[in-house]
Amino acid sequence: MSNRPRPPAHVEPYVRILGYEGAVAFILEFGGAEIYLPMTRTAAARSPVAQHLGVDAVIALAIAGLPRRVPTAKPWLARVFWSEELRVQEIARKLHVTDVTVRKWLGDGTGHCRCDDRQLPLF
């Protein structure tokens, strides 16, 4: 979909490896946590991350050399949910933040701006 917000640089490897929906689900589940991503199939099969993603995805993330702590990426997730037509209050509940914070992340402070993050600011 073209109306999806582009992931920031620290989230892009997760989107590339897991796909858009997979990255969103992974970050919601493991964001902020320090995780171990083993490179061998035997060790990856025992990983709690493999329970959610599968062994191949765990190995792909391990090979990518990502930081051990998964980013929370809440501002990006707020824009993702906003592009999926969720209301500000629903986004705030999903991300465990206030509606004020969500409106700040979405742009103009009202929460009614469906901004295109590819457009550069005029000033």
Percent of the chain exceeding pLDDT 90 equals 55
Residue 115 pLDDT exceeds 60: no
CA 80 to chain centre: 8
Greater confidence (121 vs 95) lies with 95
| Model pLDDT for residues 53-104, shown as the tens digit of each residue | 888 888 898 888 888 899 999 999 999 999 999 999 999 999 999 999 999 9
Work out the mean pLDDT of the chain and round it to a whole number.
86
- pTM equals 0.80
**Distance between CA 4 and CA 51 in Å, rounded?**
27
Amino acid sitting at position 26: F
* Closest to 79 measured CA to CA, from 22, 33, 118, 26: 118
H or E segment and range at residue 95 = helix 88-95
